[in-house]
Structure 1
Amino acid sequence: MTLTVAVQMDPLAGINIAGDSTFALMLSAQARGHRLFHYGAEDLNWSDGRLWAKAHPVTVQRVVGDHFRFDEPVSLDLGEQADVVLMRQDPPFDLGYITATHLLERIADRTLVVNDPASVRNAPEKMWVLDYARFMPPTLITRSLDEARAFLARHREVVVKPLHGNGGKAIFKVGSDGANLSALIEVFNQTWREPHMIQAFLPAVAKGDKRIVLVDGEVAGAINRLPGEGEIRSNLAVGGSAEKTELTAREREICAALAPELKARGLIFVGIDVIGGEWLTEINVTSPTGIVAIEKFDGTDVAGMIWDVVEAKVGERNAPATR
């Protein structure tokens, strides 16, 4: 089976090919003989029931500085000419991102969109996780300084982060003295209209923040991400490092609880974050990462697992109807 795969992502020139999960997916697809096209979310167009993008046919190779080649762009009808759309642009999860999900939802009955656009829109990382609050650390969603102060008084140390942030950006620890809490909430309220997330600080983060990747609800692998020196953030994008790890019984329980809903929502490639072997902090569905590091430490071909699922689902869609 040869698929036409349209990859909706950020500019290829700026990615780090050594660790980029989208690039790994593209390499894997190309090795299987699939045709690749690249376009940005800003290139989407809709008229008269058609959704198309000005897309470049692309080939990729693992050569730093020469990792992709574009052919002349074409007007690619995503509902009629593509078998798969990989929605892999990075957040922020803003109105531009949300609009792209609405547009892609209009072709999702004809073209497999990974992850399902309606489910991505309805499951932002730090909001959908509230459905699994039993696995979360103590958490407050608020814009109120008074509520933030009361929460800090109960938990002594807290972490404040934007509700729709990504990549470890704008995450702050506030100690028991509350120094800068009022200024921080003031800045957050001026910067974002939505509420903010405040969580009890987990000292176990010093030993790492585990990224667990699930493919169609099944555990594909995990890495433990360690914070850099002087940091509480362990995201690889802000200087964290990765190490080999195993899942705890509690982490397996979390994954088992999530699995049915991931399958039901069409969330094929998902990364969850767990601290201290027990505290679920995020369910990443927009543009999860980590598959390159997992392959490095475990030898697991997560990209191949994802394409196995995608090919099977496309095959099911194309199978003749039976009575």
Structure 2
Amino acid sequence: MQLSFAKEISGKGASLSLAFVVDPLSTRKAFNDPGVALMRAAQSHGHEVFAIEAASLGWRKPEAGHPGGVFGELIHLHLRPDDHDWYRETGREWRPLKGLDAVIVRLDPPLDREFLAATWLLERAEADGVRVINRPRALREHAEKVAITEFPQFAPSSLISRDMGQIQHFIDEQRDVVLKPLDGCGKVPVFRVHRNDPNRNVIVETLTDHGSRTIMAQIHLPEIGQGDKRILLIAGKVVPWCLARIPKAGETRGSLAAGGTGVAQEVSAHDRHLGETLGPLLLKRGLLIVGLDVIGNALTGINVTHPAGMVEIRQQSGFDSAGACITAIEHACGLS
């Protein structure tokens, strides 16, 4: 599918039923939540908007008196512009997912057992003809930090291991590294460790749980001072603006949840090339909404679950990434 960002497209004239699989609505912070931005954009395009809290997903065998298949509790929403009071429920019902025009998965990491269970169920729904975005199998197969191993030509010097000896050797070799868990987001513990750091042993022991948990080690990239860039791909195409998340003083993490400052920037020629290289491949696998994490010119992660940055990019540049996503979903559903 080819999708141009030359124009904003809205008000399609045909209504879709769009259900968003989310973490509990009570946990969403509408002022910067890209999932809320997508729901608002869907409503502004004239579509029916439902939320399905992931805990309500289930499957039942078809039998007399019950259609069977994957089901959930659909919460019919009316979205409001007030970030402190951002929705009204207009109804709830338990029903099969079959019959919805699209189900959009917007779950935060970690990719734990319940996340996997949701993808297993949604894959069954997909087999019954439900359009699921991003595809459940692709969500499982693209662990967001491990995904860079497929594209080593773009990645910084990195090690993935739980062997403490290998990790210690990498620290000695690279001299200045960042250690981080493979899952989680936002405020997960990320440590910058120098070769002569007196706390390096306890940091390695703690993060790996004494060698029982796999972690990632990467060479420290001084370009983090200019921001950890989130580059959005929508339907395989590069959004012309990215969000540089600049760490606060004394911090290694640029994430907004860790106190970083988000600054919208035009995408550089290098980052556009990166996105144009990866975008079509990821789209072919069923990943319609993707966030690339880039520090300097190095690819450090591929976010496929709940990439942020849409709200800040629109506020600062005027580009409506959420609206572009809904347009892409409309195209996927056959609306011209």
Q: Is the 8 A contact 1:12 1:68 kept in 2?
A: no
Residues 192/290 of structure 1: CA separation in 2 closer, same or farther (3 Å cut)? farther
* Higher alpha-carbon deviation: 191-200 or 91-100: 191-200
Residues 24/191 of structure 1: CA separation in 2 closer, same or farther (3 Å cut)? farther
SS at match of 2:188: coil
SS at match of 1:244: strand
Q: Is the 8 A contact 2:30 2:84 kept in 1?
A: no
Q: Is the 8 A contact 2:156 2:300 kept in 1?
A: yes
- CA distance in 2: counterparts of 1:248 and 1:66, whole angstroms: 37
Shift of residue 287 of structure 1? Answer: 1.0
In structure 1, give the amino acid aligned to 2:111: F
- Residue matched to 1:175: 194
SS at match of 2:126: coil
2:267 corresponds to 1:247:
yes
TM-score by length of 2: 0.90
In structure 2, give the amino acid aligned to 1:306: C
2:24 corresponds to 1:6:
no
TM-score by length of 1: 0.93
2:28 corresponds to 1:15:
yes
In structure 2, give the amino acid aligned to 1:223: L
Map 1:130-141 → 2, pairs under 5 A: 130-141=149-160
- Residue matched to 1:308: 327
In structure 2, give the amino acid aligned to 1:254: L
Shift of residue 184 of structure 1? Answer: 1.8
Aligned residues between the structures: 315
Q: Is the 8 A contact 2:156 2:218 kept in 1?
A: yes
- Residue matched to 1:238: 258
- Percent of counterpart pairs with the same letter? 35
- CA distance in 2: counterparts of 1:43 and 1:244, whole angstroms: 36
Shift of residue 161 of structure 1? Answer: 0.3
Residues 216/155 of structure 1: CA separation in 2 closer, same or farther (3 Å cut)? same
- Among 229, 247, 251, the residue aligned to 1:210: 229
Q: Is the 8 A contact 1:142 1:197 kept in 2?
A: yes
Map 1:1-323 → 2, pairs under 5 A: 1-48=14-61, 49-80=68-99, 82-109=100-127, 110-190=129-209, 193-220=212-239, 221-276=241-296, 278-315=297-334
Residues 71/231 of structure 1: CA separation in 2 closer, same or farther (3 Å cut)? same
Shift of residue 260 of structure 1? Answer: 2.1
Q: Is the 8 A contact 1:135 1:279 kept in 2?
A: yes
- CA distance in 1: counterparts of 2:138 and 2:27, whole angstroms: 28
Q: Is the 8 A contact 1:40 1:89 kept in 2?
A: no
Q: Which runs of 5+ in 2 are unaligned?
A: 1-13, 62-67
Shift of residue 192 of structure 1? Answer: 8.9
- CA distance in 2: counterparts of 1:121 and 1:281, whole angstroms: 18
- Residue matched to 2:65: none
SS at match of 2:72: strand
Shift of residue 143 of structure 1? Answer: 1.0
SS at match of 1:140: strand
Question: Cα RMSD (Å) of the superposition?
Answer: 1.7
Q: Is the 8 A contact 1:143 1:185 kept in 2?
A: no
Cα offsets for 1:40-72 (capped at 9, x unmatched): 111011012511001211111121332111133
Q: Which runs of 5+ in 1 are unaligned?
A: none
